Amino acid sequence: MLEILIQGLLLSGLYALIAVGFTLIFSVGRVLNLAYGSYIMIAGYVYFYFSQLLGLPPIVGLLLAGILGSCMGLLKYNLIVKPLKGDHIPVEISTLILAVILQSAIILYFGNSAKILLPIFQGVIHIGNATVTYNVLAATLVSWLILIVLFVFIRKTHVGRAMQAVSMDSKGASISGVNINKINMFTWGISGFLGAIAGVFFASYTQLSPSMWVAPLIIAIAIVIVGGIGSIIGTLVVAHIIGFMEIISVALISPQLRGVFTMLLVIIVLIIRPKGLFGREEL
CA 24 to chain centre: 10
Question: What tens digit of pLDDT does each residue of 37-83 get?
Answer: 888 899 999 999 999 999 899 899 999 999 999 999 999 899 888 88
Task: Report, as ranges of residue numbers, the positions in the chain whose pLDDT lies below 70.
Answer: 1-2, 86, 230, 279-283
Q: Please state the three-class secondary structure of 39-68 as a single string.
A: HHHHHHHHHHHHHHHCCCCHHHHHHHHHHH
Q: How many residues does the chain have?
A: 283
The b/e string for 98-117 (b: 16+ C-beta within 10 A; e otherwise) is bbeebbeebeeebeeeeeeb
Name the helix (H) or strand (E) containing 102. helix 88-110
pTM: 0.88
Strand blocks (E) in 136-209: none
d(CA 176, CA 171): 9
